[in-house]
A and B are shown apart, each in its own frame.
Chain A
Amino acid sequence: MNVPVLVVQGLTVYRGTHPAVQEVSFTVPAGTDTAIIGPNGAGKSTLIQAVLGILPRQAGQIAVLGHALSNKGYLPPAVRQQIAYLPQNFLFDRRIPITVSELVGLGWDGVGPQLPWVGGRARRHAVRAALTQVEAWHLRDQLVSSLSGGETKRVLLAYCLVRPRSLLILDEAPAGLDVLGESEFYQLLYQLKQEQGWAILQISHDLDMVRRSCDRVLCMNRKLLCQGPPDHALAPEQLSLAYGPDLVRYHHTCEPHHHDY
């Protein structure tokens, strides 16, 4: 439970000539759910992209499962296999001919050179198991471009699920879903988290969901303003640091909605 899957120390990332993330340090223990909150432009997506090695960093250290992420974004392949990433919007060229089975299968494959037919049976079995678990097996032969928003999210969860992982990184994963779709997404996500023992690092604007479901919260606006359990990090005085006093007043006047995830 307390073995960290992710350790970030003194991370600084520039977007152009301006620092988007400044000296951010935090730890994600195994099996826990950490939410990153903050206003638009606070550097949340930049932080996640630096952790994944998509963006270079100007300072700081990042370690996944005890392995340092190099400045060029290298991690040993076995460690990379332990990470799954769901982007904010799964935007791709919808003219690309790819079926649901093929997409989920990409989550199973390693990144090193391999013959396309090697491991075919194990791959098919894993894809079937993952799609069945998210109740999307019936979509297996459909083009990904033909799926609805909710179906796409389920298929992407199968992409994460098709191999055992230690860390799921979600950048506002339910973006684009309606209230019901978002609720179903979180229900499935936390059911799978329970079963798989995933640690989750996610960006979210849904403070009610964060309060109910997350173990830890990182509140940032370029710098890390506070971190800790939701009761502490979502206290009005902490939120006003990140969002300003208006949001706190708004939250006081709106009763939080309660869902059973």
Chain B
Amino acid sequence: MTIEAELTRVIGLFQLPFMQRALMGGVLTGLMGGLLGSFTILRQLSFFSDALGHSALLGISIGLLLGFDPSWVLLPFAVVFALVVTYFLERTQLWTDALLNIIYSSSLAVGIILLSFRDEYQGGITNLLFGDILAVQTADLIFGTVLLAVCAGFIGLTLRSQILLTLHEPMAIARGVNVSAQRTTFIVLLSLVVGISIKAIGVLLISAFVVIPACAARLLSRQFTHYILISAGLGAVSAVMGMLLSALFDLPSGPSIVAVQLGIFLLAALVPTARAIAP
């Protein structure tokens, strides 16, 4: 097949409604992941988003056993789960990564056991693990757009407090920043972003959307505000490029986007600025 014919095929593909929804879903997830991811990695919560994604399987299993649509159970579960984990992290003397490992591996195990009681859902596990961005519906896009607006509004309106809180918590408290409220709101938003993205990206890959664009942006930035914008931008750009790559070579969409994110990260690591600011 010639290149011209191939391009015509891809253009035709993106005129299909499900592909357009998938593209918009990817961009929304990329923007939200990049935006919140910029603070997530600096606050060393990368593993938190990973644990949250894996543990979502438990929420889906509970929803199925109770006879509810898993999508409706997933978001409240993610929020409650995130708040419970935060509570334990603040009140135990254990290491954060160790505690998260206990929680996510055990909830994953319980989730799989619960799913084994539902034979008709066995085939859905692959979709759950790797996501199916082509199955994104209009309702998902509307909710995603609203969530993006809320995330952007929250970060934008509290930007200085968020930066100070990330930089030096005691100085933030001394300035009157309500650290507990800010931290809880951030965690709730992060859990909602992870929860809503699982359908499209899957529990195994969702943390890549939060972590990789932010790490690439960190390598390319000298200013905090630029860093946040670049992180969100790279999230969106990698979603578009990943979808194109997926359409061109008939590859799975979610992993293609993550592969593009990795490519951008590796390129960013080669940029002289990155070498200059790397610790």
Contacts and interface: CB of A to CB of B under 8 A. Distances in A.
B167 A92 contact: yes
Interface in B149-165: 156-161, 163-164
Nearest to A146: B277
B199 to A, nearest CB: 31
A83 B224 CA distance: 24
Nearest to B177: A111
Contact of B224 (A53, A75, A97, A113): A97
B173 A73 contact: yes
- Main secondary structure on chain A at its contact with chain B? loop
B224 A96 contact: yes
Contact of A111 (B156, B161, B170, B224): B161
Nearest to B43: A93
A124 to B, nearest CB: 13
- Main secondary structure on chain B at its contact with chain A? helix
Contacts of B164: 106
A111 B175 contact: yes
A183 interface: no
Contacts of A113: 157-158
B241 to A, nearest CB: 24
Interface residues of B, number: 28
B222 A143 contact: yes
B54 interface: no
B178 to A, nearest CB: 8
Interface in A188-225: none
B176 interface: yes
B21 interface: no
A49 B170 CA distance: 8
B158 to A, nearest CB: 6
A115 interface: yes
A94 B218 CA distance: 12
Contacts, number: 86
A54 B164 CA distance: 15
Interface residues of A, number: 37
Contact of B157 (A52, A80, A106, A114): A114
B277 A87 contact: no
Nearest to A156: B171
Contacts of B176: 74-75, 77, 80, 111
Interface in A56-77: 73-75, 77
B42 interface: yes
A81 to B, nearest CB: 8
B34 to A, nearest CB: 15
A85 B174 contact: yes
B227 A97 contact: yes
Given A95-B279, A97-B277, A53 B160 contact: no
**The 8 residue pairs across chains A and B that have the minimum distance between CB atoms:** A80-B176, A85-B174, A109-B160, A113-B157, A52-B174, A111-B176, A97-B221, A54-B173
23 contacts: A53-B173, A53-B174, A73-B173, A77-B176, A80-B174, A83-B174, A87-B170, A92-B167, A92-B168, A95-B218, A96-B166, A97-B221, A97-B223, A98-B167, A98-B224, A102-B224, A103-B167, A109-B161, A111-B161, A115-B156, A116-B156, A145-B279, A169-B174
